[in-house]
Amino acid sequence: MELLKHFEDGAENFVILSLKDNEWDEFIAKLPIPYKNCYIPDNELQHRIKTFSSTKEKELSEILPSIGKILSGDFGEILSYFLFKERHKKRKVDGPKKWRWKQEKNVAAPYTDVILFSIKKGATKPSKDDLLISVESKMKATTNNGYHPIQNAIAGAEKDYVSRIANSLSWLRKKYKDESLKVNAPVAELNELVDSIERFIKSETVGEYSKQINAVAFVDKTFFKDEVAKTVTIPSVSGATFEIVVVSIKDLKKAYENVFTEIPKL
């Protein structure tokens, strides 16, 4: 799935990605299937339908968010997941679809919004080239003069850097172990993922790694110029790269509502 080709690149104080207006429909049409997969894989959905003599629509209604602010937040997080995987595809970064582990559909998934990582293949020991990427995502799809998505994303990304990444990694390690206990679980793959997480958790003893901290603000095109013109405070970060990305999308509220409306129809 190629998404970045639908955006025009730019730079001011931030990395700017602007969705091309004439490719809006094509871009949005790509999202429902991968979004559904971020909440539940097809085999598990079919198992639920068969086991409970249910329907796809009923099962998805128990999984997909239905409250506007959670629809919006999940949309930005999941889009960040795919955009950053594509931005760093040469490194073949990957990470958990953590929305599958939500305890309640209308509560945001816990800890860092997105974590992606890549470990140098073939290395006999941990490498400084091993990469961990965190993303904090914020959305502004409707008028709210007191809400500053760029600065709020920066504040959240700083929190990731200071403490939340560490908590996220411990949580991910536990979730991967929990997954390994399921029937027909890909145990070898999950063991490898646990080892990868351990590498980052124990970096003080096994060696440094590269860390990229990202603040991402998705802003409706109507508000875009005003938001990027605002002064922001950027924290001082040592031992990591800190990047701010602002994404402009026309009719942003309509975009995320369309995606979630289409998922049950697939």
Can you tell me the mean pLDDT for 134-146?
Answer: 93
Can you tell me the mean pLDDT for 177-199?
Answer: 92
Domain that holds residue 35: 7-265
Mean pLDDT of the chain: 94
Q: pLDDT tens digit string along 102-127?
A: 999 999 999 999 999 999 776 668 89
Residue 210 contacts residue 129 (beta carbons within 8 Å): yes
205 is a domain residue = yes
Give me the number of domains the chain comprises: 1
29 is a domain residue = yes
32 is a domain residue = yes
Pair of tokens at residue 247: 């994404």
User: Of all helices (H) and strands (E), which one includes residue 74?
Assistant: helix 68-87
2 is a domain residue = no
Residue 266 contacts residue 30 (beta carbons within 8 Å): no
Q: pLDDT tens digit string along 21-57?
A: 999 999 999 999 999 999 999 999 999 999 999 999 9
Q: Which of the 8 DSSP states describes residue 62?
A: T
Can you tell me the mean pLDDT for 183-188?
Answer: 91
Q: What is the pLDDT of residue 10?
A: 87
169 is a domain residue = yes
197 is a domain residue = yes
Handedness of CA 18, 66, 114, 145 (dihedral sign): positive
